Chain A
Amino acid sequence: MDCEDAKGKLLESYDSALSGDTKRQLETHLTACSNCARFAAALNKIDTQLKGAIVAPRLSRAFRAGLRARIDRQRRPVWAHWLPDAAYLAGSGAAIICCALLLPFPVLSVLWAGVLTATTGYSFQTLLLSSVEDL
């Protein structure tokens, strides 16, 4: 085994166990070669220092609860999203029907005027909300 082989085997020994034969050859080489022995010592020191320096932190206990809360918040807007529109539609519809029945004007004209007003109001509200969201 030459020095390059020995260094290769030394590096390999940190990933997977060497066979008995290779291990013996490596030990024989290290006993005879001070340069490779120093390389082996340096690798060993690096491994120990890396194990000490790179320590994985742990997730806090609040991690799961926080994630669950965020997922729940994410679900809620699905309801909140359509509710204002539905309320607006129902309110406008009811107001138009009341006006058509109560006001002393032709029913069809009142209905048209009501639909026009409600549509304009809805467009204005949507525009206003999207500008607020952009802010």
Chain B
Amino acid sequence: MMKDEDVAELLRRRQFEGAFGLLLDRYQDRVFRLAFSILKEAGRAEEVTQDVFLKLWEALPFYDGRAAPATWLYTIARNTCFSTLRRESYRMTAPMEGCVEPSQCETAPRQAEIRQLLERLPATQREVITLFYLQDQSIEDVAQMLDLPEGTVKSHLHRARRALAEMMRS
């Protein structure tokens, strides 16, 4: 299995094609889900994921090894998503409104309830819990994506779950 050290080694040897291929294989889905969690629309998230990897391709020759390749990639991804959001903020509505299949929206009235509850959470808790479920419930992935310690991610998750449970009971 590919490790980040393999990518760093390829970059040190200036084998950019190889390093890019490994990063693409390992991170394309994660970057896409990160983009989706921020942009709430699958089509736009896919376009931005392409932008992110294009930027990565252009920036690979300048990689200085100070941060792990994954951390570097996620920083590019977050910055690209937020600048896209700023540029197109008028297009954004409530989170998770962009269901991929319209039928999914119609057949899931319960999902509307949980989305409304999610909306009432503070932004960071909402972002962490959304990413946690998008990323196959991996705290390690969420921590790496948001550049936060795992303990902080857990604490946001606990607070979010406690708040949601209280909201649901009230």
Query: Across the interface, which residues of A come within 8 angstroms of B158, CB to CB?
Result: 8, 11-12
Size category of the binding interface on chain A: 20 to 34
Bits for A58-85, please: 1 = Cβ < 8 Å to B, else 0.
1110011011001100100000000000
Q: Report if B9 contacts A (CB, 8 A).
A: no
Instruction: Name the prevailing secondary structure of the A interface residues.
Output: helix
Question: Among the listed A7, A11, A53, A57, which residue makes an inter-chain contact with B108, where contact means beta carbons less than 8 Å apart?
Answer: A53
Q: Report if B42 contacts A (CB, 8 A).
A: yes
- Docked pose: A46 CA to B49 CA in angstroms: 30
Interface of B toward A, CB cutoff 8 Å? 24, 28-29, 32-33, 36, 42, 45-46, 49-50, 53-54, 57-58, 96, 100, 104, 108, 110-111, 113-115, 117-118, 129-130, 133-136, 139, 154, 157-158, 161-162, 164-166, 168-169
Please name 16 further chain A to chain B contacts, defined as beta carbons within 8 Å, in addition to the given A11-B162, A56-B134, sorted by A numbering: A8-B158, A15-B139, A42-B166, A43-B161, A49-B113, A49-B114, A53-B111, A56-B29, A56-B33, A56-B135, A57-B45, A59-B49, A60-B46, A63-B50, A64-B24, A66-B50
11 A–B contacts from the bound complex (CB under 8 Å): A11-B161, A39-B165, A45-B168, A49-B110, A56-B29, A56-B134, A56-B135, A56-B136, A70-B50, A70-B54, A71-B54
Interface of A toward B, CB cutoff 8 Å? 7-8, 11-12, 14-15, 38-39, 42-43, 45-47, 49-60, 63-64, 66-67, 70-71, 74
